[in-house]
Structure formats: C-alpha cells, structure tokens
Amino acid sequence: MQNEQAEVTLEDLRIGSDSVLRKVYEENRDKFLNYARRFNLSEDENVDVYQDAYVIFYDNVMNGKIERFTSSISTYLFSIGKYLIFDRMRKNKKTVGSNFDLSIVKDEAASIDHLEIDTPVLTREQQLLRQHFGALGKQCRELLTLFYYRGFTIQEIMESENYNSENVVKAAKSRCMKSLRERIKANAS
C-alpha cells in the first residue's frame, strides 16, 4: 500500500468499520501463515500468533498508538508477528534449524526498521544510544538486540547465530558493549 492509502485505511480502522477490519485480517492471514511456516511451529501455533498479532495491531490502532504508517499494514502486522514467533520459540525452547536461512527474516525486517510509530521524545542519552548503536557493525547490533531487547540467553544466541561456544558469545557481547560505551562516551562530552 502507498502511504496515502495506508492513512485512509488507518482512519477507516479507527472508525471501527467491520468490513475494513475483516479485509485487513483476511488479506494478510494467508500471507502471514505462509511466512510463519518457516519457523517450524505447528499450524495451530501459527494461527494463534497471527491472531495475537492482529489483536495487538487492532489495539494499537484503537488506542491511538499508531498515528500514521510509513510502510504497509502488512509490514506492521508481520513485524508484530515475527517477534511473537521468536518469543514463542524462545519460551518453547525451540531453535531455528541449521538449514534455515536467517537472512530471509533479516531482509523482510529491513523495511520494518524504518517504521515510525508514535516515536516518543528521547533523552540525550537515548539519542546517543540510538545514534551509536546504529553505527555498530551488523553482528554487534544483532547480538546486543537478541540479548538485551529480545531477552535471549547466551545459550540461545549461540544456537541461533551459530557461535562455537558460550564463551565466544560472551566475549563478542563484551567487545560490542565496550565499543558502544566508548562511542557514547566520546560524543557525550
């Protein structure tokens, strides 16, 4: 969808039009279920995840948390669903198989990185963190995101990102944090 269409659809959603809500649900359901099958969850779990993602989407629309879309509604729904899948996999101690290509997820997540949703005013420290986190290498950003934001354990990171041992993950995390701290400290003064 183009942004203009997304804004109109967002307004229709806020009005609570059953036909628009149903249309968004149905147009994205099969696409999402096909996407979710990559993660080796059961079909029932995939349906549950989609329904949970849609409920979160609906709540965010109705509660005014979404002011406008800078990407498609599908991208927004998929981003919610993707994180719900990862949370479910983590809770069930499931891992992505060694033959799974994580670049598929990362490629689709690239457009999600530019999604603007009711961005709050950031403190100076938060602005520095955002700026310098983005300047870190891709591997550091992924590692720190998995550990601090997604709540993965060292063991889970080792398995999902194909590290050789937990010590390698710990050392990499330590180097990444040191680099981030140094960058922030250099610009904080």
Residue ranges of domains in the chain: 1-119, 122-189
- Give me the pLDDT at residue 108, please: 43
**Burial status of residue 67 (CB atoms within 10 A of its CB: 0-12, 13-18, 19 or more):** exposed
What is the reported pLDDT for 171?
Answer: 95
Q: How many CB atoms within 10 Å of residue 34? A: 10
Reading the block at residue 140, the tokens are: 């550091």
Q: Which architecture does CATH list for 122-189?
A: Orthogonal Bundle (1.10)
CA–CA gap between residue 34 and residue 44 (Å, rounded): 13
Angle subtended by helix axes 3-15 and 43-62, to nearest 10 = 80
Mean pLDDT per 10-residue segment, the chain (189 residues): 46 80 88 86 91 90 79 84 86 56 43 44 76 89 84 86 91 93 82
Domain 1-119: which CATH number of 1.10.1740, 1.10.3470, 3.90.1570, 3.80.10: 1.10.1740
CA distance 97 to 38: 10
1-119 matches 122-189 in fold = no
Distance CA(35)–CA(39), nearest Å, equals 8
Q: Token match 């420290």: residue?
A: 125
